[in-house]
Structures are given as C-alpha cells and as structure tokens.
Chain A
Amino acid sequence: MLMQKELLKSFVDMDEAEAVRIARELVETEGGAVAVLDTCKEAMEEVGRLFEAGEYFLSELIAAGDMFNQIMEFTLPKLQGGEVASIGTMVLGTVLGDVHNIGKDIFKVMAEASGINVIDIGIDVPHEKFVEAIKEHKPEIVGMSCLITLGVDSMKRTIEVIEEAGLRDDIKIIIGGGRVSQAVMEHVGADAWADDAARGVRLSKELLG
C-alpha cells in the first residue's frame, strides 16, 4: 500500500526516475503487476484532472504518457490473462491527409489508462482503412484525430464511407484534435468532440454507456 502511494505521488509529481524505480520494485511483489497497473491508471487520471484544471500543460501529458509506456513495458508481460479488464474497444486514427500524431498518442495513452482497449491505426489513414478496422475489431467507438483544416473534409468523407459500408449504426464516433469544434462535429456528422484528451476520455466513457 505504501509503495503504491509513493508510486502515485512520484508519478503525478513527474518524478520519472523515482516512479520507474518504485514500479520496478513493486512489480516483482505478489500481485504487484496489478497494483502497478491500477496505480498508474489512477495517476494518469489525476494528471488528466490537473490538465483540465489548467495546472498541468501538454508537456506534463507527454511526460506522463512516456512514463506510463515505460512502466507498462515491463508490467504488462507480468499480468495474467483476464487481469486487464477492458471497458470497451476504440479504433483510433489521424485522418487522411493529416500526419500529426502527438495529440492522438496522448489521447491514446490516457484512454488506455482508463481501461479502453485502443486499436491505433496510425496517421494519414485512408477512409477504407477505418472501415476495414471496424469490420475486424468491432469497436464500440471510433476516434478520429484532426489537426489541419484539410482533415475536416477527410472526417466527413470517412464517416460517409463508414455509412455506405452499413457500419455507422454499430458505432459511436468521437473526433478530437486542434481543428474540431461543435460546428465541425455537426458538419461531419460525428457524435462527440473534444479538443483536450481528458475531456475526450470522459466523453468516450459516456459514449460507452
């Protein structure tokens, strides 16, 4: 318990060396892998809260995401099947014509930390690739990231193509990134929008019901 508290504190305080050290130690104890996973999820959630409150900035989200990934790299292999509960699946990609991935990657780590199973299909993703991924992974949610204005039309077309494939009713669509807004959401026909990751995670959970 004490170690978990220390891990939480050093993680949220962005003390990378200390957080990784404690996690490495904790993961070797009985039930340690689950404890590390849960604590890191909680820490990511707290970092997200601080970001939404304006106390933390993108710099902290990136550093926290990096810490989370570092720790998961040695923690996940130690978990038994069934120990990682998922609350739903999301196919996530940056839309065609857009190569920005920093925001998408931040959102991805935070969504994963909140228990969503994220299938990342990359950047500059063609419309058909979204359709194929939906068929293959049967997600409840599709997330699209869009940082350039050109991407607005890409999202619109991607959603049309998903519709034409008869898959639109099976999924909820959330859009994110610097170029999205209420107006853009309505224009492209998505179900939710967020231009910050913490809000995006909250809305995704709501969409999962």
Chain B
Amino acid sequence: MVSPEAKKLAEERAARMQAALDLKEPDRVPFTGLGGDVIPAYAGITSYEYEFDFEKNRQAAVKWFTDFPSDSAPRVGLGGLDNQSMGVAFQDYPEIVSGVNSVNGPMNDVLKMKFVRFPGRELDENSARQFIGGKNMEPEEYDQLIADPVKFCFEVIMPRISGGLKDLGSPASLATMARFGLEKARQDAEMAKTMQALMELGYYFAPRGVCLAPLDLISDQLRDIPNLILDLRRYPDKVKAAAEALVEPMVKMGTMSIKAGAKECFIPLHLNEYLSPKQYNEFYWPTLKEVILKLVEAGMKVQVFFEGWHDAHLETILELPAGWGTAYFEKTDVRKAKKLLQGHTCIMGGIDVSDIISLTPAQLDENIKKLFDEMAPGGGFIFSPNIGTCPRETPIENVRAVYEAVEKYGKY
C-alpha cells in the first residue's frame, strides 16, 4: 500500500523536477541522487547478486533509497547494456523493443549478446558489467544500411551480435525468442514489485523513451568509434546518408513509450566530444537536431546527455526551441553552460564522481555550497553526478556529505 504521506512526497518530488524542467525555481534544488555499484556494496551483496536476483536487487534498492533519499525516480531494476540496433530491428513491436533495447544479465543468458560481459558470468562477482563493443559492419555495407535500416539491423546485424539468434529461423532461434518472451513476462512482474516498493517510499515512476543520435547508433553498435571516425574521411557521403536513414527509426524508438505515458526521451551522446565543430555540424548535429525537434513536436521533453567535453559545440543548443528540455553535462562546466543557456535549457550535472571518490567530506560540502550559490538562482537546474555510477568502493561518508550538503544548501 502506498500511504498518503508517500504519495504526497512523490508528488512533491515530481513537482520539483518539473519546475526545473519548466525553467522555474522549485522549492529546493532537485537532486537525482547517486547510484551504481555502490548500492549493492552498501547492502552487503555482490554485484552478481544485484544484477541477476530481483529480490536482492529490490532489497538493496530499498535500503539505499531509504537511507539516501533523492528527487528523481531512480534507475532501479537490473542494469542493462545498450542494444539499440536490435531495438531498431524490432521497431514495429514495442513490447519486444522494451526487452531488447537494453539487455540485462538474465536476459543476456537468453540472447547471448557478443559484446557484453556480466559479473558472475564472464566477470568476477564484484565487477561492474561491461559493454565491450566492437565492429559488426563493414564499410561496403553502408548501402544496405541506407536502403533499409530496419531490415539491415534485423537480417545482417542481429545474427552477428546475438548468439541465440545467429541462425534466423532455426529451431534454436525460435526457442530463443520463446524464452525471451517468458523471461520478459517474469521481469515485467518483478519490476512492478520493485516499483511498488519504491512508491511506498515516496518515489514516483514515469516511463521515458530512449534513443540515440543517428550517428552514434552507427558508431556504438555497427562500426565502432575509431572506424567511424576514419569513415568520416573515407566515405563521407555514405556516412551522411546512413545517419539520415536512421532519423525515422530513432524518432520511432523515442516516441514509442508515449502510449505508456512517457513525457520525456533520453539521448546519451558519444561522438560529440570526438568531432571538430566542422564535423559536428556536418555529420552529427543535423540528424540529431532533427530527432530532437521531432520528439518535441510529438509533445516530449528531451534530456540529452552531452558526454565528455561538449564545449566546442555548446552554442548549437541554442538552435533548439526554448524549453525543449534538459542538457546534462559530464565534463563541460555547468556554470559556463548556464551563462549561455539560462532561460532556454534546463541544466543538469554539477559534481564529478571522481571527486566523490577522492575528496574529503568537508571539501565536498564546500564545493556543493559554491556550486549552488552560482547555479540555483533563476532555477532550471537539476543537481546530479556527472555520470550515473559510483563504484563499490565509494566512501559512504562522502556519499553522506553530498546528501547533507544538498539538504543544507538546496533551499530556494
């Protein structure tokens, strides 16, 4: 049962985040909270248990989010690894997409993806899961990708990346899909329990869409980054055409969850930091911008995670309509971003996870005080670690210092 108090708390938290998204000043600086491998470590369980056992995962999450309360619906459940090319392959079947788009441990036992490794399987029980990537497509295949990205991802790429589906139409692949369905049903039921447990603690859950910048889909999942970088010089026209061909599939992936109530779509960027402004504006931004504009047109807010240094491309954000969504920064200084984007874009980020590991509680306290002094006025700011995951060894006294500082200095 979700108590009236928990319900009220959830509403307050949601309103706080929403105010920031609407570029206003909430009652307090909204805080996404910390997470990652430190959660199982804090609960005294292995990363393997946390990534494979829903019951233990749930208990660990409840302990963490009770002791360290934050404002956003936390990323709970088993952690997954990005598998969007397979999402594209099944884009006309949303119920399948939500299971293949990001592959978690037990699901990988079924699909046997080539580019992932999990704790307690290929890795030590306390390792973090790994996406190891790799090249799954040759340059001669750009034409096929351009002609029909969905067909290409299904017929050519999927058999290369999924051990369970390497022989399309074989008994083994049909059995894989049947097992996938059973596992998906089990996971959906388990996730409902986890969400219920967190709602009882006063958290809210809003589904959200996820998609990639078209060029990132090619570099992350198909060609790999160094090859794509060389392709930009060797086959510029093909790369451009391929990115254009992927705009529609990416919009479809992003808007798919609107039916389930999603109001926001998340897009993590990877290649941005690698490219010169000239390359960014020629190969990357036009198709990314088109995807964002179409998501906004469909009524969504968009949260873009500008990974790495985004300084060289910062001004292009102003080409989007004011209120389009949130710019989440990793290395780019949020203060610098605020100077440019205040009143136009909600800004998210502010603390480097390396600092949470390496500094003292007193230093963290001071840094956060200074940060809020500069970032809070005017609103439109969400406080968040610069990357999603704190490792197992993160000192708990430092975690505590971060939450206490948010409590102390976050009031408007």
User: What is the bound-complex CA distance between A183 and B360, given in angstroms?
Assistant: 10
User: What is the bound-complex CA distance between A153 and B394, given in angstroms?
Assistant: 9
The total of Cβ contacts below 8 Å across the A-B interface reads 84
Contact of B274 among A62, A153, A180, A183 (CB under 8 A): A62
Interface size counted on chain A using CB atoms at 8 A: 28
CB nearest to B37 among chain A residues: A150
Which among B12-20, B126-134, B242-250, B339-347 touches the partner chain? B126-134
Q: Which of B232, B354, B387, B389 has the most A CB atoms < 10 Å from its CB?
A: B354
A79 within 8 A of B: no
Contact of A153 among B232, B233, B275, B391 (CB under 8 A): B391
Q: What distance in Å separates the Cβ of A51 from its nearest Cβ neighbour in chain B?
A: 10
In contact, B274 and A59 (Cβ under 8 angstroms): yes
User: What is the bound-complex CA distance between A143 and B292, given in angstroms?
Assistant: 40
B358 within 8 A of A: yes
A155-193 residues with Cβ-Cβ distance < 8 A to B are: 178-181, 183-184, 186-187
CB nearest to B226 among chain A residues: A62
A95 within 8 A of B: no
Q: What distance in Å separates the Cβ of B286 from its nearest Cβ neighbour in chain A?
A: 17
What interface size band does chain B fall in? 35 or more
- Which residues of A have CB within 8 Å of B233? 14, 16, 63
In contact, A183 and B225 (Cβ under 8 angstroms): no
In contact, A58 and B274 (Cβ under 8 angstroms): yes
User: What is the bound-complex CA distance between A179 and B385, given in angstroms?
Assistant: 13
In contact, A66 and B230 (Cβ under 8 angstroms): yes
Q: What distance in Å separates the Cβ of A126 from its nearest Cβ neighbour in chain B?
A: 10
User: What is the bound-complex CA distance between A180 and B355, given in angstroms?
Assistant: 10
CB nearest to B132 among chain A residues: A99
- Which residues of B have CB within 8 Å of A74? none
CB nearest to B394 among chain A residues: A149
- Which residues of B have CB within 8 Å of A181? 352, 354-355, 358
CB nearest to B390 among chain A residues: A149
Per-position binary interface string of chain B over residues 92-134, scored 1 when its CB falls under 8 Å from any chain A CB and 0 otherwise: 0000000000000000000000000000000000011010100
User: What is the bound-complex CA distance between A179 and B390, given in angstroms?
Assistant: 12
Chain B residues with CB under 8 Å of chain A are 36-37, 127-128, 130, 132, 225-226, 229-230, 232-234, 273-276, 279, 308, 312, 331, 352-355, 357-359, 387, 389-394
Other A-B pairs, 13, CB within 8 Å; known A57-B273, A58-B274, A149-B389: A16-B234, A54-B312, A58-B273, A59-B274, A59-B276, A59-B279, A63-B233, A148-B128, A148-B391, A150-B389, A180-B354, A181-B355, A186-B358
